[in-house]
Amino acid sequence: MNWLYQFSTTEFIFIGLFLLLYVLYIARVFWVARQLNTSAWGVVPKFFLRGSYLVLLLIALLGPSFGEASEKLDTTARDVFMIVDVSRSMAANDVVPTRLERVKYDVQQLSDTLLADRFGLILTATEPFVLSPLTADHSALKQFVQHIQPNPASSGGTDLCSAIALARQKFVTDSTTRQSTKALILFSDGENFGPCERTELNRLRQDNIPLITVGVGTDAGASIRDGLDFVRDDDNQVVHSHLNRSFLQNLARDSRGRYLEADADGRYVYELASVLRSLQGPFTNQQEIAISTNKYYYFLLIALGLIIIDLLVTFRTFRL
């Protein structure tokens, strides 16, 4: 079984609060029962019932994927390198839950939408590096994505353009991409501190590699958590990070690509997939794709059934 999200601190907090409050509730009920000289074991079945649907709801929230089916698709071969900004500014929470977590979810949704495409993954902060080469194994790709974290050492800024140059170099040196349609996707808030040479963007145009930039963040922006404090500048002022939309738009324009903006509900992912599908190439192949889908609704339906039982069925708390 694969998971769309990892078990995080939030889930531990919910479980801890549930156990703490319910233990206090049970202790209170048994104390009252003792004062009344009676039994209160009727609260125990409710505890297990409510605990069961809480666990099921948490499992549904984490997005379990299991059960594989194979499907043959005739499709244009597309190779896509996704560049993900992992600088500290991507930990800002003006996009819920954070900018980077939003990107991680959307990258997995995109790979589930374009099953026949090969995806590669490049992370960048002060320096870029390849996390995953081009692969058609989307399950493995999603495993890589789940473990992406902001780079706390990226105080020197983000060099997005070096990551673009690295991705183009990987395309050029990989013989398996010669007959495929190629594209680059850059997920970033646009806070760039490295030089962007026009010649590198011209090379993308010459090699017919469109650059699709995705702006992640808001105009209002947000501060960046650093442990119990916030990231501060040299004057000890709290740093406020904003979406640098104009920089990303200029990158897309100069490379004859497209600019998209991440929205709260992820609808732009379908527009992004549509842009990639519109990139037609000369080579069509047939691939047998293993499909593993999110089965959260099974657990959600069972949890809803238990909630209905909880509402309809009553247990006598005190036996007088």
What pLDDT, on the 0 to 100 scale, is given for residue 266? 83
Residues 81 and 158 reside in one and the same domain: yes
Indicate whether 185 belongs to any domain: yes
Return the axis-axis angle of helices 198-206 and 160-173, rounded to nearest 10°.
Answer: 30
List Cβ neighbours of 191 (8 Å cut-off, separation of 6 or more). 87, 89, 157, 158, 241, 244
Residue 142 lies in a domain: yes
Strands (E), the chain: 2-3, 64-76, 78-85, 118-124, 128-135, 181-188, 211-215, 222-223, 225-226, 229-230, 240-241, 258-261, 284-294
- Is the same domain home to 13 and 117? no
Q: In whole angstroms, what is the distance from residue 209 CA to residue 207 CA? A: 6
| 115 in the same domain as 103 | yes
Domain count, the chain: 2
pLDDT given at position 74: 54
Torsion of CA 199, 204, 208, 214, to 10 degrees: -140
Q: Where are the alpha helices (DSSP H) in 87-132?
A: 99-113
Are residue 225 and residue 241 in the same domain, yes or no? yes
The answer to whether residue 204 sits within a structural domain is yes
Beta bridge partners of 64: 3
Q: Are residues 211 and 284 in the same domain?
A: yes
194 lies in the same domain as 270:
yes
**pLDDT tens digits in sequence order for the chain, 320 residues long:** 666 666 677 778 888 888 898 889 888 888 888 877 777 777 778 888 888 988 898 888 888 876 665 555 555 679 999 999 999 899 999 998 899 999 999 999 999 999 889 999 999 988 899 999 999 999 999 999 999 998 876 655 678 999 999 999 999 999 988 888 999 999 999 987 766 788 888 999 999 999 999 999 999 999 988 777 888 877 888 888 999 999 999 999 988 899 999 988 888 999 999 999 998 765 555 555 555 667 888 899 999 999 998 888 876 655 55
Contact present, 266 and 34 (Cβ < 8 Å) = no
- From the list 113, 275, 284, 293, the residue with the least C-alpha distance to 183 is 275
Determine, yes or no, domain membership for 112. yes
C-alpha neighbours within 13 Å on the C-beta side of residue 188: 35
Q: Is residue 320 part of a domain?
A: no
For residue 319, is it within any domain? Answer: no
Could you give the CA distance from residue 189 to residue 261 in angstroms, rounded to a whole number?
10
**Residue 38 shares a structural domain with residue 77:** no
User: What separation, in Å, do the N-terminal and C-terminal C-alpha atoms of the chain show?
Assistant: 48
Q: Which CATH number covers residue 222?
A: 3.40.50.410
- Specify whether 46 is located in the same domain as 192: no
Q: What interhelical angle do 268-277 and 99-113 show, nearest 10? A: 40
Same-domain pairing of 17 and 97: no
Provide the pairing of β-strand 118-124 with 78-85. parallel
Within this chain, do residues 78 and 193 fall inside the same structural domain, yes or no? Answer: yes
Q: Judge whether 199 lies within some domain.
A: yes
Structural domain boundaries, residue 302: 2-63+295-312
* Residues 18 and 164 reside in one and the same domain: no
Residue 15 resides in a domain: yes
Do 22 and 93 have their domain in common?
no
